[in-house]
A and B are shown apart, each in its own frame.
Chain A
C-alpha cells in the first residue's frame, strides 16, 4: 500500500472533509515526524510504537573492493520500535493471512 492509497482510505472514513485536506494532513504528519527525528526528538504513539534516532560512532571503515581504509563520520539512523498492541496484532495475523509484500 502506498501513501496515496492510505490517503484515499482515510478520506473514505472522513468523508465530511475534502480529499485535499486529508492529503495535506497526511503530508503534514509525515513532515512533522521527519522534522522531529531530525531534531533528535522522540516520537511516541501509544499502541503503535516509537521512533527514535540511533547514533553510530565515527569509525574507520574499509573499502571491501580495494581494502583501503576510509574514515566514516558519526551517523544517525531513524529507528522504529513497534508497540505492544501493534506487535501482537501483526503476529496474530500470521495464521490468518499470507504475506502479500
Chain B
C-alpha cells in the first residue's frame, strides 16, 4: 500500500474533526514548510521521527556508466534523512526477526 497526502489529510479529518480543507492545508504546509526551511540552509529535526540534514558536496570526476565517458559531477547541495531512534526501533520491532 502507498500512503499519499490524500490519506494523511483523511486521517487528520477523521481523527481530529478538522474539515477537509483544513486537513489538506495542514498536510500541504507540513511538507511545504519543511522544504522552505531546507531552502534557507537550515536542517529540520523532527524528534521521534528523524532529521532532514543538508550537505554541500564538492565537485568530483564522474563517468557515464553506459558510454564510459568522463563527465564531471558539479558541486551540489543535497538533503539526507537520518531516522531517529524511536522510528528505527518501531520499524525494527515490526520487521525484525
Contact = CB atoms under 8 A, between A and B. Distances in A.
Given A3-B47, A37-B91, A101-B43, A10 B56 contact: no
Q: A-side binding surface: helix, strand, loop or mixed? A: mixed
Interface in B23-79: 23, 25-27, 29-31, 33-35, 37-50, 52, 54-56, 75-79
Contacts, number: 183
A74 B25 CA distance: 39
A59 interface: no
Nearest to A79: B81
A43 B97 CA distance: 23
A32 B60 CA distance: 39
A52 B90 CA distance: 14
A77 interface: yes
Contacts of A44: 2-4
A91 B41 CA distance: 10
Given A36-B3, A78-B88, A30 B48 contact: yes
Nearest to B76: A91
B81 A29 contact: no
A78 B5 contact: no
B12 A28 contact: yes
Interface of A: 1-3, 6, 9-10, 13-14, 17, 21-22, 24-26, 28-30, 32-48, 51, 53, 55, 58, 73-80, 82, 86-87, 89-94, 97-101
Interface of B: 1-5, 7-8, 11-12, 15-16, 18, 22-23, 25-27, 29-31, 33-35, 37-50, 52, 54-56, 75-81, 83, 86-88, 90-97
Given A3-B49, A34-B87, A34-B90, 12 more contacts: A9-B33, A28-B15, A28-B16, A30-B49, A33-B49, A39-B1, A39-B94, A40-B95, A58-B97, A75-B96, A90-B77, A91-B78
